[in-house]
Amino acid sequence: MNSFKKMTPIPDPIPLTQEEFDKRKAEKKKLLLTQDEVIKRLQVAREMGDLSENGAYHAAKHELGNTRRQLGSINHILKYAYIPRITGSQKIGFGSKVILSNDKKDLEFTLVSQYESNPLQKKMSMESPIGKAILGKKVYDKICVSTPNGEIKYLIKKVD
């Protein structure tokens, strides 16, 4: 009988800016402290007796589950994260600060991974439609982005 070891796929590396990497490490440290506090509350609640009607016990157990889920997510990101070298290339890539323009408005953002994208902070994911359209392009290239409302054309005005 053949015994084949089932291979689990290795997740893709996760590019993060140094700022985001440091933020995730600080968040992990905070969650570890929270986890310790919740475990102490859980132990105290357990000592109160009947667990079936112990609200403090159930609340602490629920909070511990949420904290551990968040820790698992952060640990995954930190395990596979790397900080790409951002070169002064004229081509758009991870970490590029970009200004796009069309007839109606200018769009200014930094191109980042999906793990740190946040439109409110002007951070656009490389995996987004705009991100995919501008990767590898340079200043004065024209791009076309498909949206539910139709196609939008942009001119790349600036790349830092």
149: domain range? 97-159
Do the beta carbons of residue 139 and residue 159 sit within 8 Å? yes
Give the number of other Cβ atoms within 10 Å of residue 124's Cβ: 23
pTM of the full structure: 0.79
| Residue whose pair of structure tokens reads 């501008």 in the numeric block | 134
Question: Among residues 58, 82, 106, which one ends one of the domains?
Answer: 82
Nearest CA to 19 out of 113, 160, 134 is that of 113
Please check whether residues 77 and 102 belong to one and the same domain: no
Q: Is 88 left (phi over 0), alpha (psi -120 to 50) or beta?
A: alpha
| Residue whose pair of structure tokens reads 């132990």 in the numeric block | 43
Question: Among residues 82, 115, 138, which one ends one of the domains?
Answer: 82
41 within a domain of the structure (yes/no): yes
103 pLDDT tier (thresholds 50, 70, 90): confident
Calculate the CA dihedral of residues 45, 49, 53, 56 and round it to 10 degrees: -10
- CA end-to-end span of the chain, whole Å? 59
Give the number of other Cβ atoms within 10 Å of residue 40's Cβ: 11
CATH code of the domain containing 123: 3.10.50.30
> How far apart, in whole angstroms, are the C-alpha atoms of residue 66 and residue 87?
39
What pLDDT is recorded for position 64?
96
Structural domain count, the chain: 2
123 within a domain of the structure (yes/no): yes
pLDDT tens digits along 59-93: 999 999 999 999 999 999 999 999 998 776 789 99
130 within a domain of the structure (yes/no): yes
What pLDDT is recorded for position 147?
83
CATH code of the domain containing 63: 1.10.287.180
- Give strand pairing partners of 155: 101, 142
Please check whether residues 78 and 18 belong to one and the same domain: yes
